[in-house]
Amino acid sequence: MLIRHAPNIAPSEITDYQLYLNRRSFLIGMAALALTPITSTAVAAPPAGTPLPARRSEQFTLEDPLTSIENITTYNNFWEFGPNKDDPARLAHLLKPRPWTVQIDGLVARPRRYDIEELLRLFPMEERVYRLRCVEGWSMVIPWIGYPLASLIKRLEPTSKARFVEFTSLLDSAQFPGQRKSLFSVSSLDWPYVEGLRLDEALHPLTLLTFGLYGQVLPNQDGAPVRIVVPWKYGFKSAKAIVRIRFVSEQLKTTWEKAAPSEYGFYSNVNPTVDHPRWSQATERRIGEFRRRKTLMFNGYAEQVAALYAGMDLRRNF
What amino acid is encoded at 53 in this protein?
P
pLDDT greater than 60 at residue 41: no
| pLDDT of 254 higher than 50 | yes
Q: What is the dihedral of CA 77, 82, 86, 91, to 10 degrees?
A: -120
Beta-ladder partners of 293: 284
pLDDT digits 0-9 by tens, 187-237: 579 999 999 999 999 999 999 999 999 999 999 999 999 999 999 999 999
Check whether 245 has a pLDDT greater than 70: yes
Kindly state the average pLDDT of the residues 136-151. 98
Q: With 70 as the cut, is the pLDDT of residue 134 above it? A: yes
Position with higher pLDDT, 75 vs 185: 75
Q: What is the pTM of this model?
A: 0.86
Q: Which CATH number describes the domain made up of 11-309? A: 3.90.420.10
Min mean pLDDT across 36-50, 158-172, 194-208, 220-234 is at 36-50
The residues, ordered by sequence, that sit 6+ positions from 126 with a Cβ below 8 Å of its Cβ are 54, 55, 56, 57, 60, 145, 146, 147
Residue 5 predicted with pLDDT over 50:
no
Q: In this structure, what are the phi and psi dihedrals at residue 174, rounded to the nearest 5 degrees?
A: -70, -35
The whole-angstrom separation of Cα 242 and Cα 134 is 20
Residue 187: per-residue pLDDT:
59
